[in-house]
Structure 1
């Protein structure tokens, strides 16, 4: 009898994990974790958010229909738990993005690359926040200062950069794991690449992996 090496079961397990990781609930959870761990704002997951909203609406209608039809309370509670979980994931994802928008609004607004990552409602929110903040500061503080110090974003007119605008710290180490079965990362201070297998966790500079997040790498 041939000896079972276990390679078949390992491959089946990998295929199962891949399938489970592609469900919208898992994708939304991953997007939330990536957004929460990344120092800068990431690309808005528009198709995923749209599908999540549609699924939530369908689940709400299903729960309401089951309650009205006298469905078994246990069954209704299970559907309600799924609905609550979907609400939590979507709200958490949108909330962490909102926190970044509020903290780095001026930096995002002047950076074309980051600005392009926002949804249309997020762009409207940032623009409205900037307009309201500038108006408030000008009316309450800046108008009472000397002309050289009436900038919202610069300490004085001699400043060459927006030195009063908070910026995300990209030179920071973060924990990440390989999404695919094999990932090779080129490190700036090493001649040898960092090789990671699926689910391997490493601490690396954010700048090294920022263009791989959501594709080859997920944050932890």
Structure 2
């Protein structure tokens, strides 16, 4: 009996060590930080989220099995605490993205670049949210206005742009840190006169649109 319990404990510990030693949790933390700090919605980390969900499910199964085998309660509480942290991180990452979708719903729906950054589920949510918001605005306000002023996108028919649609402020400033040395070639040519290089691990306060390209290429982290 003791031998069996010991083997079960060792197996659980090995599985758990594999779970926490993976870099996926660190990658999720990085994606979460970038998403929180960026003024616009970033590319959905589909493969990473899928792996994290699988690891969480495996860890939950191992915790339940070890509890049934009589694993030390203190040890189990520590395992559960780390598992809870990872679950919180994943939920927070997804929640931040949903908040951005709600805030910039019409901008995202009319911009292919932004829409393509969403997961399939997020695209479905955005479409549903957009339809509901349009119906609400039409019922409560727009239907009572003259024809030239009843658009949810423009202030009037004379407007050349969708001036009623909130859009992310790409000219806002962010704090970032380069993961490697970045030369002027890594930035968009139109901003080459604004920023020429970035040293690795050096905190920089800079306009977001200047570092948008290297951020998308994984060369910069937002703080």
Please list the CA deviations of residues 191-212 of structure 1 after superposition, one character each: whole Å capped at 9, or x if unmatched: 8722312x11111111111111
Give the paired residue count.
199
Gaps of 5+ in 1: 1-19
Shifted more, 26-35 versus 152-161: the winner is 152-161
Deviation at 1:70, TM superposition (A): 1.1
Partner of 1:195: 198
Distance 1:98 1:160 in 2: 29
Structure with the higher helix share, 1 or 2: 2
Partner of 2:169: 169
Please list the CA deviations of residues 69-109 of structure 1 after superposition, one character each: whole Å capped at 9, or x if unmatched: 11101111111011101101101110110110000010011
Gaps of 5+ in 2: 1-19
Partner of 1:212: 214
TM-score of the superposed pair, with normalisation by structure 2 = 0.84
Deviation at 1:22, TM superposition (A): 7.2
Alignment of 1:1-16 (within 5 A): none
Question: Runs of 4 or more off by more than 3 Å in structure 1?
Answer: 185-192
Partner of 1:35: 35
Distance 2:182 2:78 in 1: 38
Alignment of 1:103-114 (within 5 A): 103-114=103-114
Please list the CA deviations of residues 93-145 of structure 1 after superposition, one character each: whole Å capped at 9, or x if unmatched: 10110110000010011111111111000000000011011111112221111
Q: Secondary structure at the match of 1:218?
A: strand
* Native 8 Å contact 2:63 2:80 kept in 1: yes
Q: Secondary structure at the match of 1:164?
A: coil
Partner of 1:137: 137
Distance 1:191 1:173 in 2: 13
Residue 203 to residue 191, structure 1, CA distance change in 2 (3 Å): closer
Residue 163 to residue 79, structure 1, CA distance change in 2 (3 Å): same
* Native 8 Å contact 1:21 1:27 kept in 2: no
